[in-house]
Structure 1
């Protein structure tokens, strides 16, 4: 395989995996975070949860 085809395959894999995560602020994302232990939340997740799920 050439370097270009390897790079394209890697980019395609990354895009496919990134598309699997729910959009921040969506109902699915809010419920996913509610199920996740609060100790495992990042600071950004806590801020986004408060912004999008609590203070709608």
Structure 2
């Protein structure tokens, strides 16, 4: 029972965190990516940034 409650709490927390992230391609997302170190970007983030922020 305790493991189930812990797992549900973890899933709920993850859902709340990801719900607060700006949508890819929006102005807020581009600004957040500008502040994030380039070395921490994933390949998909770099592609999305190029597509949505540089070539608008």
Task: Give unpaired runs (5+ residues) of structure 1.
Answer: none
- What is aligned with 1:46? 46
TM-score, normalising length: structure 1:
0.73
Task: Give unpaired runs (5+ residues) of structure 2.
Answer: none
Please, what is the CA RMSD of the aligned residues?
1.7
How many correspondences in the alignment? 55
1:51 match: secondary structure: helix
Residue by residue over 1:13-53, the C-alpha shift from the partner in whole angstroms, topping out at 9 and shown as x without a partner, is 33322211110001010011011111111100000000100
Q: Which deviates further from its counterpart, 5-14 or 37-46? A: 5-14
Which contiguous aligned blocks of 4+ residues in structure 1 show a shift greater than 4 angstroms?
Answer: 4-11
